[in-house]
Amino acid sequence: MAGKRLGLVDQPLVHAAVEDLAAGRDTRERLLAACRDERSLLAAEPMRYLYALNTVGEPDWVAMEEVPDVLPLWKQYAAVLRGWGFSVWCGILNAADFGVPQTRKRAILLASRVRTAQPPTPTHAQLAEPESLFGPGRARWVSMAEALGWGATDRPVPTVCAGGGPGGGPEPFPSGSRKTLSDARARGTWMPRPDGVVLQSRREGTGWATRHGTRDNRTADAPAPTCTAEAHRWSWSLRSNNQANATVRSIQEPAGTLFFGHRANECTWVAEPATPPAEEADAPAVPEPIRITAREAGLLQTFPADYPWAGNKGQQFSQIGNAVPPLLAGHLLAPHLGLPLDPDDFILAA
C-alpha cells in the first residue's frame, strides 16, 4: 500500500478530517470508508487530541514529525493552532544539518503558547564553514564512517547506496561507535567489526553485469556471506532498498534514508571494485553482500549501541526506520523543555 502512495490520493480526505476534528466534529468513520489506504486518517489523529487538550488550555507546546509529503497537512494544523493562540513554525529539515549521519529530510511542526516557535539552528553543513566575525562556522556533515567507527585508512572509501520511496528522500544517520567485523570479514584496511552484517549484490549497471554477471538479492533470513582476503580490492556501499533508483553515497557522506518494513526496502552493504580492473585482467570474484544489522541501523539513527530493540528482526527494523533520530529530536525539543542540548545526552530526546 505504501509503495502505491495511496496516502497522497487520500490527502483531501485527511484535510477534511482535520478540519472537522478542529471544530469538534468526528467524521472519521465516514471519511475512512472513502479512503484508499486505511492508514491515511492516522495523520488526522493528532488533531483529535489537540482539540480535546485545547478545551482545558493545554498543551504548552507541540512538536510533530512526518515525511516531507505531509508538509501541506502540517500547514493546515499550523493555521488551526495559530487560531488557538499558538506561535507556529513548520517546514522541511534535513537531519544531517544537526549532526545525524543521515540525510533524512522530514516535515516538522513546532508550536508553543509560551515562546516564539522557530526551527533549531543548524550545527552542520555539507561543507565545513570557516570561523567568522559571528562565531565558529558549522561543522561538516557527519559521515557514516565517523558514525559507525570504521572507515578508510589507506584505500578508497566505500560508497553508500540508499533509496527514497514512501519513507521519504535520502537522509543521514546518528553518530556512535560500530561493532567491528570479525577477522574473517575484515574489510582490507578498514577497521574490522566482529559480527557479520548481511549485504546484497549490486545488479544495476551494464559494466558490472558484463564483468560479473547478475546476482539475486538475499532474503532477510539468508545466512551471511563470507568476506575474503580480497576485501581490500573493494569499496562498500550502503543500499537501503532493492529498487533501481536507489541513491549511492560515499562512506565519507551521511547515509541515505533508511526505510524498513518491506522486503524491497532491505538495507544492505554492497561491494564494488575499489579501482576499475584493466581490460585484459581477469575480474576478481565479487564478495557477497552483507545485510545491515539492527545495531548498525540504530547507530545510524543516533540511538545508543545497546538500545534494547524489541521483537523479531523485522519488527526491530520497523522500529528503527520509523523513529525520529534522537539527536534531531534533542535539537527540536531542548528549547521547549528549557534544557541545554548535549549531543551525547540520549535521555533528553527519550
The string of pLDDT tens digits covering residues 39-89 is 999 999 999 999 999 999 999 999 999 999 999 999 999 999 999 999 999
| Cell representation of residue 263 | 522486503
CB 226 within 8 A of CB 218: no
> What share of the chain has pLDDT > 90, as a percent?
40
Q: 279 or 135: whose pLDDT is higher?
A: 135
**Residue type present at position 8:** L
* Confidence class for position 135, pLDDT limits 50, 70, 90: confident
> What share of the chain has pLDDT > 70, as a percent?
59
pLDDT of residue 202: 35
pLDDT of residue 183: 34
Closest to 180 (Cα-Cα) out of 71, 296, 88: 296
Quickly tell me which residue has 570479514 as its cell. 185
CA-to-CA distance for 227 and 12, rounded, in angstroms? 50
CB 265 within 8 A of CB 167: yes
Q: What is the pLDDT of residues 173-216, one digit of tens each?
A: 222 323 333 332 343 333 444 333 333 333 334 454 455 454 44
Cα-Cα-Cα-Cα torsion 174, 179, 181, 182, nearest 10 degrees, comes to -170
- Its sign, for the CA torsion 145, 139, 348, 315, is negative
pLDDT of residue 78: 99
| Per-domain residue ranges of the chain | 1-53, 140-340
pLDDT of residue 281: 56
CA-to-CA distance for 313 and 260, rounded, in angstroms? 11
- pTM of the model as a whole: 0.71
- Within its chain, how far is the Cα of 267 from the centroid? 11
pLDDT of residue 286: 59
